[in-house]
Every structure is written in C-alpha cells, then in structure tokens.
Amino acid sequence: MKQGKDLANQLQKSLQTAVGTTASSSKTTTDPTPAQQQFTGGSQQGRSGADHVDAINAMFTLLEDAYPLKFKRAFQTHEDVIRAKRVWKNSLQEFSPRRILLAARKALDTSKFFPDLSDIRELCKLRYDEVGLKEPLQAYYEACYSPQQTREHNWSHIAVYLAARETGWMMLRSEEQRVAFPVFERNYEILCNRVLEGEDLEASIMKGIEDGRSQEVTRQMEDAAQKTQRRVMASQGIDPGNGQSARDRLLKVFE
C-alpha cells in the first residue's frame, strides 16, 4: 500500500509540475495555454471538491502537452476547455483524484487516439489484477469452498476473508448464489477499492440500501429456524403456541 501511495504522490507532483499552477495556486504563468487557464469548479468547493478540480486541471494540461494538435481540435476556445472540464469533473466525481490522475497517465500509455471522457472513465474503473485480486465471482467461490473461516487461512487476499466475514458465513454456505453473491460482491468491491486507494481495510462497511436482500435472507433463515423448533417441540408433545404448557412440561422434568 505504501508503494501505491508513493506512486500517487510522485504522479501528482509530476502532473502538477506540468500544470505549472493549479486552481489552488495564487498566480498563473505568462500567456497560459487553454488548459492552463484553470477551471475552479465554483465558489462552493470544499477540500475534496478542490482536489478533484486540481486533478481535472492537471489531466487537461497533461493531455494538451501530449496531444497538442488533437487537443486544439477537440477544444478550440478557452470556453470549450472550461465547459469540458466541468462536464468531466461531474462525470468523474465518483472516482478519487488519485484514480483520475492514474487514469490520465495510463491513457498516454495505452490509447492510440486522443482519449475522450468515456476512455478516462473506463481507465478509472477498478482492475482487480492490478492489485493482485481475484475477480468477484472467483473470490466468492474461494470464500464458499474454503475449508477454514479464519483470518489465518491462506487466502488469495485478505479482502476475500473480510468480504466473506462481512457477508456472513451462514449466508455463503446456506443460500443460493443468486441471493448470496450480490451481497458478497458489494462488500468485496468496497474492499478492493480500499486496496486500490491505500485505505484501511478494517474500517466498517456501511450497509447499502440494496442490502434489504441480506435482511430478507436473514428473515427467511430465522423463519426456517422457528419452524424447525416448532416441529421439534410438537414431536416432544409440547404445544408450540402455548408457552405455559412448555413451561409446565419443563418443570415436571425437574420435579
């Protein structure tokens, strides 16, 4: 993770050097190019929003430096650049500034043509193999068929164990894939993104609205357990609907 943070720091410094001055700088260089005429993102920007603005400004300057002629054809005026930056920022808001900067650098290494917004979005998306992680379905099968449910087991990555633990071992072992996998996949993707961002994997995962599926599964399991209990009580001559009769029967056992 430290290596990932160091890479991000180096990349951000190099891109900010290319920009010259970002939105947080007090002055710009003489005769700035269109991409260096900075987009500020509006007056209501918080620190997080300002970081995204800096990333967008740095990315546009990098693209202009790498594709000067194609950049000028794509964005012919200063207004075109500002308008495009606003659209790109809104579209890429879900990704961290670090991810955006990495995508910009990757675009230069992989794109044969001038990258557009859809190209950058695609490059921003999580690539499991980049950080030594399995695809979600592979990780799901590993969790389901693991002979152990402990952290000490030889997991392909600790994220598999943490996602399984968060999902619930009972759900993984007892529920159909169509029910359990979506819950596991959500937890796993959150953890994989944390790996990519160098964040704390042990932080709690907030339950999503869609986790109503998990609640429904839990309810169904509780109902099944209650039905089993009622059958056992009935086979022992205890009326499941009469708590007093069950209590009296237990008292007789201890007389």
Distance, in Å, from the CA atom of 59 to the CA atom of 111, rounded to the nearest integer, reads 15
List, for residues 98-137, the tens digit of each pLDDT value: 889 988 988 888 888 899 999 999 888 877 877 789 999 9
CB distance 41 to 82 below 8 Å: no
pLDDT at 28 over 60: no
Distance, in Å, from the CA atom of 199 to the CA atom of 197, rounded to the nearest integer, reads 5
- Mean confidence (pLDDT) of the chain: 76
CB distance 155 to 180 below 8 Å: no
CB distance 205 to 141 below 8 Å: no
* pLDDT class of 43 with cuts at 50, 70, 90: very low
Among the listed residues 143, 95, 144, the one whose alpha carbon sits nearest the alpha carbon of residue 117 = 95
List, for residues 206-255, the tens digit of each pLDDT value: 654 444 444 555 555 556 556 666 676 667 666 666 655 655 665 565 55
Q: What residues contact 90, with CB distance under 8 A and at least 6 apart?
A: none
98 token code pair: 């670090």
The pLDDT of residue 198: 76
List, for residues 141-181, the tens digit of each pLDDT value: 999 999 999 999 999 999 999 999 999 999 999 999 999 99
* pLDDT class of 33 with cuts at 50, 70, 90: low
pLDDT at 186 over 90: yes
